[in-house]
Structure 1
Amino acid sequence: MKLAPLPAIMLEPLVRAALLEDLGRAGDITTEATVAKYHHAKTVLAARQTGVVAGLDLAMLAFRLINPDVEISVGRPDGSNVVEGEVIASVVGPARAILTAERTALNFLCHLSGIATATASIVAAVREHPAKITCTRKTTPGLRAVEKYAVRAGGGANHRFGLDDAILIKDNHIAIAGGIRTAIERARVSVGHLVKIEVEVDTLAQLEEALALAPDAVLLDNMSVDKLRQAVALVAGRAITEASGRITAATAPAVAATGVDLISIGWLTHSAPILDIGLDYRGS
């Protein structure tokens, strides 16, 4: 399925802020001092590692906000698999603009491609099972929308985007509310019919208590594979099951084999390594 792009109006404030941070108080004094004003350059964005591309719209916007005369031709769009040395896009135009925007463009592109690549590795690891790989709210402040987009580029799915689009009753909510029953009952009378309710449980006893109140989903937190298998059997299709807790590409297949519907992984967005991509000069 083709990856739907994010609206430019969502991306521009992020890219403008990043460019302003880099330009500081005096602009790109290195490029201004060393590169002739009317020099024209041909460059390419090239992968230096095998991975999955994400973030090209932000990279292109960085170049064009500096100078709209920069021309970009995309060869490998977001969601594409690339190998080391493969050209992702060509960037041609005023050399000063290309050099000034280079680092901002690469910061977005490398970071988001890293998230997409990490997501794809987990998706591939569980491909024999129906479980979906999802992200969490453990995102870089200000970059949640684009980081969750990168998860989709890698073949994953998105969890809630914020505190306002679904109810997720976690351990501290339960403790402060006075128990699972109280928390779920209060949640149910507080929101409309379109808002889903999910509750986090750590034990099978908690799960049984929660299921009696018919939540839409249950978060099975830090359970062993054996406990997850028992939990899925106990739920028996009455709620969506989500497994979470330090899951990696190595451990994900066993988790998926338990029959859970979702596997949520926070490190996909908060600490996935970048995908190394560079801007290479190809002439004038």
Structure 2
Amino acid sequence: MDTFLLDTLLRNFLAEDLEHGDITTEAIFSSEDRARACFIARHPMTVVGMASVATRVFQLLDPAVACTGAVADGSRVDRGEVLLCLSGATRTLLRGERVALNLAQRLCGIATLTSAFADAVKHTRAKIVDTRKTTPGLRLLEKYAVRASGGRNHRYSLSDGVLIKDNHIAACGSITEAVRRMRARVPHTINVEVETDTLAQVEECLACGVGVIMLDNMDLATMRRAVELIDGRAIIEASGGVNLETVRGIAETGVDIISVGALTHSARACDIGMDWWE
């Protein structure tokens, strides 16, 4: 996690919540009051963000806050386990609580779902990757959660790589023409990926020398035939209709990558509590 980029995000999140201050906390507690608290898992989960994100929230508010015992990213924990301990000014702990919990619960939710998908394709060649279907403003954090819990990242933004999709092809007229125009503009160091939904399109991609072929919303029989046609001449990505019930079958067709938008757009936040302790 790049703290230069992360800190800008976290400061904005804190400013949104604090705005002109915390009127409740400031009325009840003085600057001299001290407290201790812990983040507690309310159910089994895969953990991401304790040291890298939650700790940073509190320390941006007050570098004197002590954050200890942070569970390592990617760890799997049971209900009731302590994820992070905090000690410092009562005002600081209360000011940072909601922002830190919101982010931690979101990232752990993504991590828990990602680890479930990664488990489902164990002992196959397929790798689980995310997509750009992220929450605006949270892409850095959400993609980090995927990577830290057994998944991999697809392109981060539109500038990261070439992906010729169905609407590019429809507007351009053909895969062949889209690839020709792209190669006239893009450096040779950037690989080319094309989305396909028919075997004819797969064959057209092979004729163009495309480096990555996406098989979009294909049934398993068609997908297996596409893998046979490609025969190692391109990286194969499967996409569309992927869930925990279907992902194993998709992986067993022989594809290299399975992209799952649900990792970031449909992950349910985990339940984490911040409990006071003596």
- How far has the Cα of 1:154 moved from its partner? 1.3
2:46 matched to 1:63? no
2:219 matched to 1:224? yes
Between the aligned partners of 2:121 and 2:154, the Cα distance in structure 1 is 18
User: What runs of 5+ residues in structure 1 fail to find an aligned partner?
Assistant: 1-5
Q: Is the 8 A contact 1:53 1:153 kept in 2?
A: no
Between the aligned partners of 2:80 and 2:148, the Cα distance in structure 1 is 20
- How far has the Cα of 1:72 moved from its partner? 0.1
2:15 matched to 1:42? no
1:190 aligned counterpart, secondary structure: coil
TM-score w.r.t. the length of structure 1 is 0.95
Percent of aligned positions with the same letter in both sequences? Answer: 48
2:258 matched to 1:253? no
Alpha-carbon RMSD across the aligned residues, in angstroms, is: 1.0
Q: Tell me which stretches of 4 or more aligned residues in structure 1 moved more than 4 Å.
A: none
Alignment partner, residue 89 of structure 2: 94
Alignment partner, residue 54 of structure 1: 48
Alignment partner, residue 26 of structure 2: 32
- Aligned pair partner of 1:277 in 269, 272, 277: 272
Between the aligned partners of 2:29 and 2:94, the Cα distance in structure 1 is 9
Between the aligned partners of 1:254 and 1:75, the Cα distance in structure 2 is 37
Q: Map Cα deviations across residues 260-284 of structure 1 (whole Å, 9 max, x no partner).
A: 000000111112111111111012x
Q: Map Cα deviations across residues 225-267 of structure 1 (whole Å, 9 max, x no partner).
A: 1111111111100100000013111110000000000000011
Q: Is the 8 A contact 1:216 1:239 kept in 2?
A: yes
- Aligned pair partner of 1:154 in 127, 149, 152: 149
2:277 aligned counterpart, secondary structure: strand
Q: Is the 8 A contact 1:43 1:280 kept in 2?
A: yes
Alignment partner, residue 188 of structure 1: 183
For residue 50 of structure 1, what is the amino acid of its counterpart? P
- How far has the Cα of 1:114 moved from its partner? 0.8
TM-score w.r.t. the length of structure 2 is 0.97
Alignment partner, residue 134 of structure 2: 139
For residue 277 of structure 2, what is the amino acid of its counterpart? R
1:212 aligned counterpart, secondary structure: helix
Alignment partner, residue 204 of structure 1: 199
- How far has the Cα of 1:74 moved from its partner? 2.8
Between the aligned partners of 1:114 and 1:66, the Cα distance in structure 2 is 25
Q: Is the 8 A contact 1:43 1:91 kept in 2?
A: yes
Aligned pairs for 1:69-88 (under 5 A) are 69-88=64-83
Between the aligned partners of 2:204 and 2:195, the Cα distance in structure 1 is 11
- Aligned pair partner of 2:234 in 231, 239, 247: 239
2:113 matched to 1:118? yes
Q: Map Cα deviations across residues 31-86 of structure 1 (whole Å, 9 max, x no partner).
A: 11222432211111111121111122221111112222110013411111111110
Q: Map Cα deviations across residues 72-110 of structure 1 (whole Å, 9 max, x no partner).
A: 013411111111110111111111100110000011111
Between the aligned partners of 2:273 and 2:64, the Cα distance in structure 1 is 21
Alignment partner, residue 102 of structure 2: 107
2:186 matched to 1:178? no
Higher mean displacement: 108-117 or 75-84: 75-84
